[in-house]
Structure 1
């Protein structure tokens, strides 16, 4: 296994975190699940900065976003698998 492009904490998570600089659209990403060290591949649909999230599955507006096995907010727009997940399409449920 090479160096991962994306880290996922729990198998139930719906997003992973980019861990490489300058991830480009069309990249066949190596994704590693840190909980059990399993891996899978996923294609990035957008350029995504390091530290930002990518959808692991299609997410519908209103769906809960899961990261670290925790509810981190809700989608405010539909997000396709492989797309950038950030403040433009996710909102916290706290406010």
Structure 2
């Protein structure tokens, strides 16, 4: 499937990924989206991703794709920032 995505890339913090994944259902409910959660156990980084059908070679759809990505980035910022701040506060 050809796709576009909005993703949170967590470099070198399995603890943060774990804390976020403990709230997986709530986060997905708040976003009203089903996310892909990739711990990547053999890597330092982890990813949380939302995908949608899309073909980047369809230039006539770029405006739609950019709109979708912008909306999702704002949604991710609004939802994930609270969980990340809470996690940071627990470790300071």
Q: Which has the higher helix share?
A: 2
Task: Using CA pairs under 8 Å that are at least 6 residues apart, name the structure with larger relative contact order, 1 or 2.
Answer: 2
Q: Which has the higher strand share?
A: 1
TM-score, with normalisation over the residues of structure 2? Answer: 0.28
